[in-house]
Chains A and B, each alone.
Chain A
Amino acid sequence: MTQQARFPSPYDLAPPPGAEGWKDLYPYYLTFKDKLRSEEDAKFWFCDAQHWPSPFKPFDAITVEFAVKCLGQYNTRHYLVPPANGVEYRIHNGYCYMSPVAVAPELIADRVPQFLERAGHYFQNWQSLLENWDKKVRANIADMETIHFEALPDAVPIEWIKGGVGLDNTYALTESYDRLIQLLYKTWQYHFEFLNLGYAAYLDFFGFMKSLFPSIPDQAIAKMVQGVEVDLFRPDDELKKLARLAVELGVDAALATGTVDEALAAVGQVPGGDVWLKAWKDAQDPWFNFTSGNGFYSDDKYWIEHLDLPLGYIRDYIVRVKRGETIERPTAKIAAERDRITAEYAELLDDDARAAFEGKLGLARTVFPYVENHNFYIEHWSMSVFWRKMRELGQILQQAGFWHDANDIFYLTRQEIRDVIFDYGNGWAVGAKAAGPDYWPDEIERRAAIMKALATRPPQPALNEPPAVITEPFTIMLWGITTDRINAWLGGDDKEGHITGMAASPGLVEGRARVIRSASQLDEIEEGEILVAPVTAPSWAPVFGRIRAIVTDVGGMMSHAAIVCREYGLPAVTGTGTASSRIQNGQMLRVDGTTGEVTVLS
């Protein structure tokens, strides 16, 4: 380790100017407490900017809480993973920091038989349990879809009077809100039912290959395991199909200009237009439940609510189709390449190792479709429905005067929203003014200013002293954080203009940098640029046709960015720690996705 042996303590990291008082925006159990300084400073925390790259609004903390809590429960209470419990998490200056919890060495052995029985059951019955998971998750989404928030009427419905219901409309409102939160809680429990085990089986294959071939590129291992037909790529595939269909039917000119409504109306006027409009409609459920972010933020834009996004991508694809380009993923080529790579490694092994290779690869391939696909069902589809329902509630309360914009609801914590619903119903019941409309607009303005101030400062990659060696399996597996990575972060500024990260997708290119901090900036990207971002989401795929390479601050070999880049044949360097703050727009970069090096040329 060079120069600096530790990262700063959170207790020494004051908020940026204007963000004072930020702690009150989050639940008490999520912030570092002064009283616990010695205890908290004894732990190593790394920033999870992979999932939460920018400061999140108070309500959005629910995604951190549910996700990381549910991750923990499966290690600690469901499968009793012998060496690893869950992951502690804190919010500091608007960013999320994680600290994995190890099991005391003397307790590990006792957990082994329980792990073998519990996890063993899942590995042995993976397919049937996964089919069941699919049913559960779809049912959960359907349940969320049934929830509707309605403004309180002037009077309780007459039927309720005559039916002797004996309840008012506020009861249903509170119940619906609680139910929505509970269904989201279920969503995140399901999310981790298979994920930790899936990653563990993958890591087993990964470690096996590394032991046999010390210099095997991570991406070669990934390529052997990755699927070809993956649900996560379906939304983008649907857009490509729609683009091709538009050209085949000759409706592409009608689609080319105007707002979504104007373009769709124009398509309706031309022969074949009805065929295209039906295909456009059919693709939406479920495939347009797809976010340009990662599902963890209330301001994620889902295609289904912002049809201009998919239409814009379709327009791009139409241009490329008409240029004669092949826009479809070369699935046959990917499958053939996967077979070739697998066969060539098998050929380099002796018989014993080859048998183990086949066994471990077989298990990894069984579990990996979940790792790839769950993302669509949870982060995209389930979260699309959840945020949409929350906005529905936000709008009702906006109409009731609690705030100016439906999305202002996300400046409240989830407990405060319960209070607001009561306040709203209370005023309605009493026949007097609710308190909220005089309180929340100012408070929301104050909170918005704090959020803005927090966003001015990027997070620390980590806090406190790192362990000499990272051995915690989930830190490595889920976050790609290794001893080498931490050392690189600590010595990160050693060489001016030279940034290293993970070699996530091969290839060497040069080009101008385009630094993108959020999905809303995606339209700034110009042809031939290199995308530099804190993190990317798989749904950014439609811009991948325009760029030459990707550089991210966070993410491992199995991060969504890495998976998608390999799929699209784009060089990628992930997990650089600081690239998006060290690289400026317009700088010339050389990106070597084979070695994980990024050089600022000018």
Chain B
Amino acid sequence: MSAFDARNLSGIAYTIPFDSAGPDDFERMGGKGASLARMTAAGVSVPPGFSVATEAYAEMLRADGLGAEIDALMAKLDIEDVGDQARTSDAIRAAITRRVMPQAVEQAIRAAYAALSAPFGGDLAVAVRSSATAEDLPDASFAGQQDTYLWVVGADAVIDRVRACWASLFNARAIAYRARNGLGETNVLMSVAVQKMVDARAAGVAMTLDPVTGDRSRIVIDSAFGLGEPVVSGEITPDNFVLDKVLLEIARRNIAHKDFELVVDRAARCTVERVIEPERRSQPSLSDEDVLAVARLAKALERQMGCPQDVEWAIDRDLPPGADVVALQSRPETVWSRKAATRPKTAYATGIEGVLGTLLSPVQIKH
């Protein structure tokens, strides 16, 4: 059991560090939190952090009559009236943020945050994200309406943002969605993920197949200095690395001319665009060792998820070399996977029939 595990009287932990979560915990961590814990368990490093378990939210609802107040407000809601949705939403969120967090929950969060910060000295800048248990529903677009708070520093601020995340479960669209689909308010529980902000020296995306040919034996990496957003959004031309997935060897490097980078302004608790000094512009954003580490990360994710992945990754300056490459997000690759699913089955000849076929139309050895 980790140092910042905190349990209530019945022995239920209100917080769960990603690196000590077991399969039984995943349900209590919501979609995002469980995914991060699963990655950690599979040996894929992610920025360290913890989940505020669904029990903490349940405890909040129980305490001080909050649950009853919400039920009463929802009972009066006219789901066809957009104005009423907004008013109900405001009232419920105010009810949540007005209330003091149950003491046991607050203490658990403070302890978990202190333990997370300890290795880095002082209060750690974290991202606080909502992680609802219903996120995995097929039509769960409301999940995106929930909140994410970046650059949160200090235990008080973290607690404040956790409460805000809980409240975000009651934005107007979300309550309307649930009401329309007959999801009771207590069926959707909220967990909150608290995760270290990454101060990236380089970041980008990795695909575990060749997006041009669909070749699954390749890994393609786009990378730039600083944080990864400009790579993801296509604002800059990144360095491009192509690797052989099985041999884990770099087959091709294309180093781009990079004008600016997105970096962390720790004092202002935000990110800023910075012009890259001329002598660094045409330098590779990753060393060969970094490239291999990113590839290994992507490969581990593909293996864990069981299908080709599109991975956002970063190299965190705060983490020790050799353990500094982290996955921020991983999604299944869709284009080639869909093609593969619709392709007619191929009949392969083996044995001498196969040999004959090859002799009659030998392949061109490609280089």
Contacts and interface: CB of A to CB of B under 8 A. Distances in A.
B120 interface: no
Interface in B339-367: 340, 345-348, 350-352, 354-367
A217 B251 contact: yes
A207 B216 contact: no
A213 B216 contact: yes
A473 B218 contact: no
Contact of A215 (B210, B345, B350): B210
A435 to B, nearest CB: 52
Contacts of B345: 352
User: How many residues of A sit at the interface, in one of the four size bands?
Assistant: 35 or more
B363 A210 contact: yes
Interface stretch (A112-120, A186-194, A314-322, A327-335): A112-120
A167 interface: no
Contact of B364 (A341, A356, A469): A469
B19 interface: no
A255 interface: no
Contacts of B218: 213, 215
A38 interface: no
B252 interface: yes
Interface in B168-196: none
Interface string A460-480: 000000000111110011001
A384 B247 CA distance: 38
User: How many residues of B sit at the interface, in one of the four size bands?
Assistant: 35 or more
Given A214-B366, A215-B215, A596-B367, A471 B361 contact: yes
Contacts, number: 141
Interface in B241-279: 244-247, 249-252
A497 interface: no
A84 B361 CA distance: 11
B217 interface: yes
B103 interface: no
Q: Is the interface of B mostly helix, strand, loop or mixed?
A: loop
B356 A115 contact: yes
Contact of B251 (A207, A215, A482): A215
Interface in A504-550: 506
A115 B359 CA distance: 11
Nearest to B218: A215
A216 B251 CA distance: 10
B213 A214 contact: yes
Given A360-B350, A595-B252, A82 B365 contact: no
Interface of A: 81-84, 108, 112, 115-116, 119-120, 123, 197, 200-201, 203-204, 206-208, 210-211, 213-220, 341, 344-345, 347-348, 350, 352-353, 355-356, 359-360, 363, 469-473, 476-477, 480, 482-485, 502-503, 506, 556-557, 594-596
20 contacts: A83-B359, A84-B359, A197-B355, A200-B358, A207-B358, A214-B210, A215-B366, A217-B244, A217-B247, A219-B247, A347-B303, A356-B348, A359-B348, A360-B350, A472-B362, A473-B362, A477-B362, A484-B367, A594-B250, A596-B367
Given A120-B352, A473-B362, A477-B362, 16 more contacts: A82-B356, A82-B359, A84-B359, A108-B360, A200-B358, A203-B358, A208-B354, A215-B251, A217-B247, A356-B354, A359-B354, A476-B362, A476-B363, A476-B365, A557-B365, A594-B244
